[in-house]
Amino acid sequence: MGAGSELANRFRAAQQTPSRFKEVAPLYSRPQDGKMDFLPWAHLRLPPFPQIALRVLQLARDENVQLHELCDLISADPAFASEVLTVANSVLYAPRYPSSSILQAVAVLGSNTLQGMCITVGIRAYLGKTMRFPALRSLWRHNLACAVVAGRLASGGLMDKDVAYTAGILHDIGRMALAVIQPKEYGALLEIHRGPAISILNGERDLFGLDHCETGRQLIGDWKLPDDFEPVVSAHHALRRTDGAWDLAELIKLSCQLADAAGYPAFAGCGTIPFSTLLNELPARERRLFFPDLASLTAHLTEAVHAIECA
């Protein structure tokens, strides 16, 4: 049986299984002629992303924002604040002295670091119980690994490492939305698909009518996120530029591929590029200060992902 037939069978079976996502409008309808008519974006009802996380991201990029404003916003939701504080005290950030309040955490780590932590907590909350599906948990880990790699690459160059981490954690936000809308169906696609990372886009279009890059681009606008994240979420599978440019979007492309190579692919059958090839594509300064071999990168990512998952 081919991959398409297998997916179609699993797709039909999943449709007949009760789901807690019934309140979400389906992405398609199946008229009498048997063809799928996909709903336009404006008619979709995506589950809301935690508003505190989005608001923190918007406020943290305002040079005039006061620390107490960020603290008051986060502290307004005790459960969210507790998760942020736990992440702030994890080995990922390795504070010399644990923070006992959001105000202390912001004062020690800074507002730029805070935005990455809040988006991390927000995405974890957004995915919720969908992470009981192994394929979707692996997707979450890929996102984390990409963010950690991005922060490390930026710290070796001239970019802000916290902005790079935030871009990394956001780069697959379109996948997260697809996962939340139809977790079983999307999980099935991720489990059986084989090919280069970019090849999954066709499968997503067949299943949803749009791919995760298109979804992410729409969400950047709908959620009023900073415009400089748009090329990160919509073009991270595009070919590398040949003019030697090195900006946030290019950094995320390589971070995503390095996460794949280090054992944290977005889907199990994802084809990877050799670590040595990716290392040689880095600018000289970033290459010199990055991990010298795949084993050391993998060990670092394993520790970082474990720290977040245990937080």
- Beta pairing partners, 270: 195
* CATH value at residue 197: 1.10.3210.10
Nearest to 215, CA basis, from 248, 174, 247:
174
Angle of CA points 231, 257, 137, to nearest 5°: 90
Residue 121 placed within a domain: yes
**pLDDT computed for residue 38 by the predictor:** 60
Q: Report how far residue 154's alpha carbon sits from residue 140's, in angstroms, rounded to the nearest whole number.
A: 21
- How many domains are there within the chain? 2
Helix (H) or strand (E) holding 126: helix 111-127
Same domain, 86 and 139: no
Sequence-separated (6 or more) residues with CB below 8 Å from residue 241:
250
Q: Considering 103, 128, 153, which residue would you say is the last residue of a domain? A: 128
* 306 strand-pairing partners: none
- For residue 147, the enclosing domain spans 133-311
125: tokens are: 């909350």
- Picking from 67, 94, 128, the residue at the C-terminal end of a domain is 128
pTM as predicted? 0.85
Residues 111 and 252 in one domain: no
Q: Same structural domain for residues 149 and 59? A: no
Look at residues 95, 128, 161 and tell me which one is the last residue of a structural domain.
128
**Residues counted in the chain:** 311
In this structure, the answer to whether residues 124 and 214 fall within a common structural domain is no
Q: Are 201 and 212 in contact (CB under 8 A)?
A: yes
Tokens of 109: 């780590």
pLDDT tens for the 311 residues of the chain, in order? 444 444 444 434 433 433 333 333 345 544 444 445 565 554 456 778 999 999 988 887 777 888 888 899 999 999 999 999 998 888 777 777 788 898 888 888 888 888 899 999 999 999 999 999 999 999 999 999 999 999 999 999 889 999 999 999 999 999 999 999 899 999 999 999 999 999 999 999 999 889 999 999 999 988 888 899 999 999 999 998 888 889 999 999 999 999 999 999 999 999 999 999 999 999 999 999 999 999 999 999 999 999 988 87
277-to-131, 152, 155, 261, 274 alpha-carbon distances in Å: 32, 18, 21, 10, 5
